[in-house]
Structure 1
């Protein structure tokens, strides 16, 4: 297992011949509160070569648990959230798959990542062998209300993972604008 830093890349399929699917796990530890707490919501966006969502149908989240083509799917697991990705089944027009977590704007609560500690994204084989892990920085999250944890992307004929930890202070609206999504 390799521990990554923000901006680092890992060659998943080149370094693991025969790897055709991965498990992407997102997790976090939240400081308990006696009052309302922020609820984090994962969102996966399948993007074209321009870095934008191919369409609103190319999202995987709580209302759409499986991508239109069936290659990306949320499943129930021991991690906070788990997304199974069939790399060999991802359509050719998908250049990258972005993993985002945002604070649910519909719930009462702090509305930021301020109470979140030890957030991570990890990539593992379907058998559970962890390939890479990125621990997202918890520094100064008081104004962050959405964050890109990382992305899987194509490089030539191979799949790579990039650790990001890019925060948004504009929440879901900022994510929607960047990825050309209509909510």
Structure 2
């Protein structure tokens, strides 16, 4: 049975699931009142919380990391609504990578005058790629009135184990601000 997390909660992914090698981080949303295009992205960060190179920023224009540890699989539509996924292979993550924040942004938020205050059903699920079982889910229930980018979650390494933290931290200046913060040249 999947764990349901709230903002700030953590869980140890690889200790609780010792055979866990690959996960799918699946962003989902369903809000038919306005046409939203949410995008998922990830940054591979070192101990200083910076990318070591620009290709460590995985998004729709750079679909995979150099080692193929993190792969953006694009977007789709399912019975449950919209869906974007990133696959993570823990065995291929370079040893100097300590954290992988998972980001959600609204595509063309400024042009469309959209923000996360208009979306009521965004969530992220972590799925075991081997058996397609949902391990955990975090429903983004915070009230974001002006934010156009959110760090929804973080995968992070601690004592050799990979853990998950439900973050839910919003940013007004979108993805460009996060890129600069994490050391990506934009």
State TM-score, norm by structure 2.
0.89
- Bigger share in helix: 2
**5+ residue gaps in structure 1?**
none
1:125 maps to which residue? 128
Q: Contact conserved, 1:95 with 1:153, CA < 8 A, in 2?
A: yes
Q: Which of 84, 103, 107 pairs up with 1:104? A: 107
1:29 maps to which residue? 30
Matched residues in 1 for 2:111 and 2:68: separation?
A: 34
SS at match of 1:51: coil
Q: Which of 151, 154, 168 pairs up with 2:154? A: 151
Alignment of 1:1-183 (within 5 A): 1-33=2-34, 37-76=35-74, 78=78, 80-105=83-108, 108-126=111-129, 127-139=131-143, 141-183=144-186
SS at match of 2:178: helix
Matched residues in 1 for 2:36 and 2:19: separation?
A: 40
Q: Contact conserved, 1:27 with 1:120, CA < 8 A, in 2?
A: yes
The number of residues matched between the two structures is 179
Q: Contact conserved, 2:109 with 2:115, CA < 8 A, in 1?
A: no
Cα offset for 1:70? 0.6
Cα offset for 1:172? 2.1
Residues 83-107 of structure 1 deviation map (CA, whole Å, 9 limit, x = unaligned): 1110111110110111101122377
**5+ residue gaps in structure 2?**
none
SS at match of 1:14: helix
Q: 1:106 to 1:143 in 2, by over 3 A?
A: closer
Matched residues in 2 for 1:145 and 1:19: separation?
A: 32
